[in-house]
Amino acid sequence: MKKYSRLVWDNALNMIIMSVLTGLFAGVVVTFYNILMSLGEEKAEGLYSLFLENPAFIPLLFVGLAAGALVIGTLVKFVPMIRGSGIPQIEGAARGVVRFKWYITLTSMFAASLACVFMGYPAGAEGPSLEIGGCCGSATGTLLKRNQMVKRLQIASGASAGLAVAFNAPITGVVFALEEAFRSFSPQVFICAAISVVTAVVTRNAIRPALDYGVGFAFEGFRFSEEISFDFFLWVALAALVVSLAGVGFYYLVFATKRLFRKITFLKGVGKYIIPFVLAGAFGLITLYSLGGGHSFIDALSSNGEGEISVFGIGLIASLVIIVVIRFITAVMTMGCGVPCGVFIPMLAIGAGLGAILSELFKMGGMDAVYSDYLIIICMAAFFTCIVKAPITGIVMVFELTGQFVNFLPALLGIAIGYLIGMVFKTEAIYEKNLEQYIADEKLYDKVEKVRLELKVMENSKADGAAVRKIVWPTNGLVVGVVKEDGSTTVADGETVLHAGEEIIFECETDDEKELLEYMYSIVGKQDKG
């Protein structure tokens, strides 16, 4: 018993140390990355303002955008891991179905996404931050020569840390790892992710003040009313329905656009990247609110937002419609083409913009203006939930990104409607769908074979005394049966507790049986010789 307790403690200590190292690495790299992205947005706004003041030089802008698009498209062709936001790929890596070299992916995504934002592309930092964090986790596991199970845990932990640092939202980071990256509420995943996230956020909040940057909430200007009337629930239901339907349209347009871009073979397919960049450049000349990820746009929508939103001096609602339509088009083009930049914040900006439009209309219909901020944030989360299918992340995000922790029920109603509308129109989680397409495009399953293993649970192993659902099994694998010591076989489910001396029957699809065996040995223990 003492030997078992010591083994458990050694394993736990090892995972804690690994997760701390992952958090430190991700915290430093992602913090500097986000600072550079913020500088990029500022420089891009200055550059576009300069072109507007000197229209004769506008053709040079489009020449530069086209040239930059070709460079970025070429990089994506050679490093497909950075296609799009990188979130689907890093989720696949955390589940063991995607393999990558961390140093190539990290540097490529870092450089490509920064180049996008410096060119004025509507690029968010959150998706790339998540992938960069995942690369940091992979680096920790690889450099310290850990097995595949530990690497997967650290990739998920690093991804969580990257998202948490980008938003300064630790709970959102942990929940996203459980709900979206691993799709598992395993204690191992939770503990590793939580430790990495805490370490990374502490690191972030130590670096940023030292460089004279703030450490507050992402959207501090929003204020939620402490008293909610019944009428507001009706407004929330109506608004959530509208933005969710827009989310359904966004989802289907993304995949329609993907099919169209696949048909473009100009310059061996690299030429297709010119289209979204030139289009984004044209939109940037219409309004500066189309540039960057959308933080400034979302902040401006709050009751404490600075400045008045106006496009060409027209009214607020018309200006909001123009900005939302522009951001909707560019986000669809980004995901459809696979531009290496984040769409996480741009999606939130679309939802928030739709919420602001509806808020203005609802106030004309009798809604109290005091609810405006809350409605905007609820719409933001409902739009996100409808597309990403991560409702728990959505509800946590509402409160953590704003720092407002009152009145849970309206947000819950809006997010539930967003999720339900997605189900009615049969949309899948967009990152999950993109992962499936990435696997198909890269032909990752061409060498996959189905393997059946019968392995004995060794004393003091991770599986000894553990329920099946609490173990992080290899991806695409399933414990189909347990052979008891008396020779009887039972069908396993999530609540089945494994014991030393029993044999498990495990079926899995894999392209590397040796790696699979090593992973399984890390769970059930090395097998007796013979």
Three-class secondary structure of residue 205 per DSSP: helix
- Predicted local distance difference test score (pLDDT) of residue 337: 94
- Predicted local distance difference test score (pLDDT) of residue 447: 67
3-state DSSP of 125-178: CHHHHHHHHHHHHHHHHHHCCCCHHHHHHHHHHHHHHHHHHHHCCHHHHHHHHH
C-alpha 44/C-alpha 38 separation (Å) is: 10
- Predicted local distance difference test score (pLDDT) of residue 182: 61
pLDDT tens profile 315-341: 899 999 999 999 999 999 999 999 999
Fold of the domain built from segment(s) 2-210: Clc chloride channel (1.10.3080)
Give residue limits of the domains in the chain: 2-210, 230-440, 450-524
Which is nearest to 46 in space by CA: 110, 208, 278, 54?
54
- Predicted local distance difference test score (pLDDT) of residue 220: 80
- Predicted local distance difference test score (pLDDT) of residue 307: 55
- Residue-by-residue DSSP string for 305-327: -SS---STT--HHHHHHHHHHHH
Instruction: Please report, for the chain, how many H helices and E strands are present, in that order.
Output: 18, 4
pLDDT tens profile 360-410: 999 999 999 999 999 999 999 999 999 999 899 889 988 888 888 888 899
- Predicted local distance difference test score (pLDDT) of residue 183: 66
- Residue-by-residue DSSP string for 360-387: HHHHHTT--GGGHHHHHHHHHHHHHHHH
Tell me whether domains 2-210 and 230-440 share a fold.
yes
- Predicted local distance difference test score (pLDDT) of residue 306: 56
- Predicted local distance difference test score (pLDDT) of residue 446: 67
Q: Which regions of the chain are under pLDDT 70?
A: 1-12, 177, 181-186, 217, 305-307, 446-447, 529-530
- Residue holding tokens 């027209």? 314
Query: Which CATH number is associated with domain 450-524?
Result: 3.30.70.1450
**Number of neighbours of residue 520 by Cβ within 10 angstroms:** 22
pLDDT tens profile 259-293: 999 999 888 889 999 999 999 999 999 999 999 88
- Predicted local distance difference test score (pLDDT) of residue 313: 82
Query: Which CATH number is associated with domain 230-440?
Result: 1.10.3080.10
C-alpha 530/C-alpha 517 separation (Å) is: 16
